[in-house]
Every structure is written in C-alpha cells, then in structure tokens.
Chains A and B, each alone.
Chain A
Amino acid sequence: MNKALERWAPLILLLITLALWQLICSAFKVSDFIFPSPWRIVEQAWEHRWTILGHAWRTYWVTMVGFAIAIAVGVLLGFLMGSSRLAYSAMYPLMTGFNALPKAAFVPILVVWFGIGAGPAVLTAFLISFFPIMVNIATGLATLEPELEDVLRVLGARRWDVLVKVGLPRSMPYFFASLKVAITLAFVGTTVSEMTAANEGIGYLLISAGSSMQMGLAFAGLVAVGAMAMGMYELFSVVERRTTGWAHRGSNAT
C-alpha cells in the first residue's frame, strides 16, 4: 500500500496544487490577464493545440540536437580530463569559469555568427548542458581505487586497459546521473535562446503570447516545455536503472 502511495504521490501532489490554484483564482476573481487559472490554461492550450504542438516539436528537436552535441563533446572532454592529470589541472579552472557565465549572454553573439533560427538555439542548449556531463565522466574516471590500479598494472595493463575495463564502466552511473541534469538544462538553453533569436519554438511562443497578453497561452507553453523535460528525464532514469542497476542496489534490492 505504501509502495502504491509512493508511486502516485507526485500525481496527487500535482492535483492538489492545481485544485488550490483554481480555488484561489476563482475565489479572488483573479483576472486571466494577470494570472490565469489552470482551467483557463487548459482551455487556451486546447484552442491553440496545433500551434503549441508545432512550436514544441521545434523546441524538442533543437534541444535534442544540442544535447547530442553536448553528450559527444562532454564525454570526449571528460574522458580527456579523467585520464590525464595534466589535462585535468589545465582544463578544470577554465571550464569552471566558463560554466559560471550566463549562457543567455551568448545568444546575441551566436545570432551574429549564425543568424536568427535553429543555430543559436542548438548551440545554447549545447553550451549549457555539456558541463555536467564532462565533469561527471572526469570524476568517474579520476576516482579509481589505487589498489585496483596496482593490481592491474602489475599484470602489465596499459593505461588504456585500465580505462576501458574499469574507468568507463565505473563512470557510467555518474554519466547517467549527469544526463538527467543536463537534459533539463538543455531545454532551458533552447527556450532562452528562442526567446530572442528565433521565429519558432516555445521560447518564441512565450514572447509573442506575452506581448499580446495571452497569458493562458504563455502558461500553456511553459507546461509544454516542462512536460518534455520531465519526459526525457524519466526516459534517462529508466535507461539508467536498466544499465547501471549495480550502482543503485540500495533502492531496488531483490
């Protein structure tokens, strides 16, 4: 019974929140132009469903392209940093500094380079999401037990052997954990970029709905991004449990 409650808890919480929200909006007669009620958002979302779907699809594939680049670059750089002490100490401070920059600030520059459209959005999604992937891969590789390394080195293992047999499998749980964080960040990057540098996508929809005071539509757009990010997060959670169950034995022990 507890298990079932735990499973449905997020949904129940969501319904309670929506009910409260609706109640407050109806009770105080809040104007739809200021703060739309959930019902109003649903109405608007249905009315503009094709528009929203079109923009959502655009945001989705742009994010996925940016995210794919982020995985490739993040894994590569993480591998480099994790396997070489020199690369680690050379790159880490620079990367941290880079990560501290607000990625929205890159959008105007990217527009100059790539023009309005998918280019800046893909790159913003990439820039914002590769960092956690890189750091997690590097950490997984760099935190090898020294004893185990000795065991293997005595046997004549090359650095490459140690990385492939031990380092990479060891860093897989870190990798999947980082994917879950990075995918949500990637959606943030795309949306932010689309708000100023695109004529399509949820970001663009938010801006245009806002400027025409269609608050219900704007909120519906937010819900769409949130739903997509949550969906991808859940997908990676499933993949993570399937592939690296050994690292999560506490929660699903047989």
Chain B
Amino acid sequence: MTAFVDFHGVWLAYNDELLARQQFAVEDISLQAAEGAFIAIVGPSGCGKSTFMKLTTGLKMPSRGSIRIGGAPVTGPLKISGMAFQAPSLLPWRTTVDNVLLPLEIVEPYRSQFKARRDEFRERACRLLRTVGLAGYEDQFPWQLSGGMQQRASICRALVHEPKMLLLDEPFGALDAFTREELWCTLRDLHAAQRFNVILVTHDLRESVFLADTVYVMSRSPGRIVVRREIDLPRPRDLELTYSTHFTDIVHELRGHIGAMRQPSAKPTGEAAAARVAP
C-alpha cells in the first residue's frame, strides 16, 4: 500500500545562509499517512510545526529528502489542500458565504466556471455552512459572528473546493474550552463524512488524542519527530471518551515525552532525539 502523505528524510533550512551553517528548521522528518487518515503533530512552540505545514502544501521545498502527496512528488503549491489557521482571517467586506466562496473564485477548474455556475456554488457553500451549524448566518458579515462561528466559517472556506487534504494550524487555539470541544466534534463529523486527509498541528494534547489516528510529537530547534503514537481508540469517538482512563493515560504518556524534552538537562541533542524515535 502506498501512503497518501509520504515524507522521506525531509530537512529544511529557510535560506541558503542557514543551510550553509547547517541550521535546519526541521530535520529528518519521515512519516507516512494512509488516504483519509487523520494525523496530529504536537510539540512546544517553535518546533517547526508551521514549517511542516508549508512543506506539505508545497509553499516551501525541502532542502533534502522528498515529499510525495497522493503518489506524486510535490513541486509547487498543492491545490488539493485547504488550510485554516488560528486566526480565522475572514475578509470583513464579504459576507460569510462569500468568504467561503473565495477559493472557488481562485482555484481551477471552478475559477473559469464561477460566473456560469455561481448559484450552484453558492448552494454548495450554504450546505457546508449548514453542516457546521451556521445555517442562517450566510449573509451576516464575519464581524457579526462570534469567534467560534468565525472559525467554523474559516474551516468551511478550507473545505469548499473539496480538497483531498485539510491542513489545520492550531485552528482552535484562540477559542474557549467549551467552544473548542464543540468544534472538535464538528471536525470529527466532517472528517467522518468526507474522509479527506487531515494534518492537525496543535499544542493541545487532548485535542490531538481525541481527533487523530496517529500523533507525532516534535522536539524544538531543531524540529524532529521524537515519538509516533498510534491512537487505537475506536471511532466514532464521543466527548465522554476524553474522561476515560485509557484516554487520560495516552495524554499522560504524550505529556511525559514533551516534559522530558523540556528538562534542561535532557535537552535533546541530535543523536539523543534520533535514538528516541519510535520505529
């Protein structure tokens, strides 16, 4: 079986100068995810999680190693992906539904059909908004929505062109705990219904364990994958699960890995970090 997302020994230095000094933002990243898999990447701030996003979408090319998505090597911006970030970054002069429609005005083949099929596309965007609980807010402006609702709209925008891969960079980081848990469920249901690949970058361990099939823990400067942990909790998962002992044990275990990294004495050097990488 070939993996849908396939990183093979990927290193990235942001520019030639850093490359010459052998300073890499991420080092020796290898990971595979099957089609439709949900993976989460956790780690402390500055561990190269966002760099990882840029590599996956083809906004950055690796300095060494290779990345293959969907069987083909990544050579430039990858249009089969949708992205959402911690800030919803909706355009305040567009209504919610027009914000969701924005990718369709840009990405081919929708771009050239946009004028002719506008109503159909609008209907699609509205349907998507309904599935995340934003029915009735289509024609409101983003600033009339709460933070959680804006983030829902932002995720709709990432999904409207039916990408095969959804990249989320701490998408729930700015929300309160209850809204966050609601949105976990929204994301869980969207993923269950549409089976796109998800790469979720977060520093919330409960979030990663609740949502993902596989969690990767990254170390800080240089960014390396320290631990790979399969989450064997059965799907569909319910929020109740997050209070079970098994769930807490996994979170605790991951927390242990991150705690070990943060001990000044145990600061991982390249070799030590490499030695801890699980097969």
Asked if residues B106 and A155 are in contact (CB atoms below 8 Å), the reply is: yes
Q: Does A6 contact B (CB under 8 A)?
A: no
Asked if residues B91 and A154 are in contact (CB atoms below 8 Å), the reply is: no
Interfacial residues, chain A to chain B (CB-CB below 8 A) = 145, 147-148, 150-157, 161, 165-166, 169-170, 172, 244, 246-247, 249
**Interfacial chain B residues near A151, Cβ < 8 Å:** 83-85, 89, 103, 157-158
Asked if residues B105 and A154 are in contact (CB atoms below 8 Å), the reply is: no
CB contact between B89 and one of A145, A155, A172 (< 8 Å): that residue = A145
Listed stretches B33-41, B73-81, B125-133; interface member: B73-81
Cα–Cα, bound, A220→B13 (Å): 69
In this complex, the member of B92, B141, B157, B158 whose beta carbon has the largest number of chain A beta carbons within 10 angstroms is B92
Asked if residues A147 and B79 are in contact (CB atoms below 8 Å), the reply is: no
- Of the A-B pairs whose beta carbons lie under 8 Å apart in the complex, a sample of 25, sorted by A's number, is A145-B87, A147-B83, A147-B85, A147-B169, A150-B57, A151-B83, A151-B103, A151-B157, A151-B158, A154-B57, A154-B78, A154-B79, A154-B81, A154-B83, A155-B77, A155-B106, A155-B107, A155-B161, A156-B108, A157-B106, A165-B102, A165-B105, A166-B91, A246-B141, A249-B143
Asked if residues B143 and A246 are in contact (CB atoms below 8 Å), the reply is: yes
In this complex, the member of B78, B102, B169 whose beta carbon has the largest number of chain A beta carbons within 10 angstroms is B102
Bits for B215-243, please: 1 = Cβ < 8 Å to A, else 0: 00000000000000000000000000000
**Interfacial chain A residues near B78, Cβ < 8 Å:** 154
With contacts A147-B85, A154-B59, A244-B93 taken as known, whether A165 is within 8 angstroms of B106 at the C-beta atoms is yes
Q: Does B48 contact A (CB under 8 A)?
A: no
**Interfacial chain A residues near B92, Cβ < 8 Å:** 246-247
**Interfacial chain B residues near A161, Cβ < 8 Å:** 106
CB contact between A246 and one of B81, B93, B106, B161 (< 8 Å): that residue = B93
List the 5 shortest-distance A-B pairs measured between CB atoms, nearest first.
A155-B107, A147-B85, A148-B89, A246-B92, A154-B57
| Nearest residue, chain B, Cβ from A147 | B85
Q: Does B268 contact A (CB under 8 A)?
A: no
Min distance, Cβ B267 to any Cβ of chain A, angstroms = 30
| Nearest residue, chain A, Cβ from B76 | A156
Interfacial residues, chain B to chain A (CB-CB below 8 A) = 54, 57-59, 77-79, 81-85, 87, 89, 91-93, 102-103, 105-108, 141, 143, 157-158, 161, 169
- Main secondary structure, interface of B, reads loop
CB contact between A150 and one of B59, B103, B106 (< 8 Å): that residue = B59
| Nearest residue, chain A, Cβ from B56 | A154
| Nearest residue, chain A, Cβ from B86 | A147
A-B contact count (CB 8 A): 64
| Nearest residue, chain B, Cβ from A155 | B107
Min distance, Cβ B34 to any Cβ of chain A, angstroms = 22
With contacts A152-B106, A153-B77 taken as known, whether A169 is within 8 angstroms of B85 at the C-beta atoms is no
**Interfacial chain B residues near A148, Cβ < 8 Å:** 89, 91
With contacts A161-B106, A165-B105, A249-B143 taken as known, whether A154 is within 8 angstroms of B89 at the C-beta atoms is no
Cα–Cα, bound, A162→B257 (Å): 41
Asked if residues B77 and A147 are in contact (CB atoms below 8 Å), the reply is: no
Min distance, Cβ A174 to any Cβ of chain B, angstroms = 13
Asked if residues A154 and B58 are in contact (CB atoms below 8 Å), the reply is: yes
**Interfacial chain B residues near A157, Cβ < 8 Å:** 106
Min distance, Cβ A158 to any Cβ of chain B, angstroms = 9
Asked if residues A147 and B57 are in contact (CB atoms below 8 Å), the reply is: no
**Interfacial chain A residues near B77, Cβ < 8 Å:** 153-156
**Interfacial chain B residues near A153, Cβ < 8 Å:** 59, 77
Min distance, Cβ B145 to any Cβ of chain A, angstroms = 12
Cα–Cα, bound, A31→B85 (Å): 70
Asked if residues B89 and A169 are in contact (CB atoms below 8 Å), the reply is: no
Cα–Cα, bound, A155→B59 (Å): 11
Min distance, Cβ B82 to any Cβ of chain A, angstroms = 8
Min distance, Cβ B192 to any Cβ of chain A, angstroms = 24
Extra inter-chain contacts (10) besides given A151-B85, A246-B92, A246-B93, CB under 8 Å: A148-B91, A150-B59, A150-B85, A151-B157, A154-B59, A156-B79, A165-B105, A165-B106, A169-B93, A170-B91
| Nearest residue, chain A, Cβ from B108 | A156
Asked if residues A155 and B93 are in contact (CB atoms below 8 Å), the reply is: no
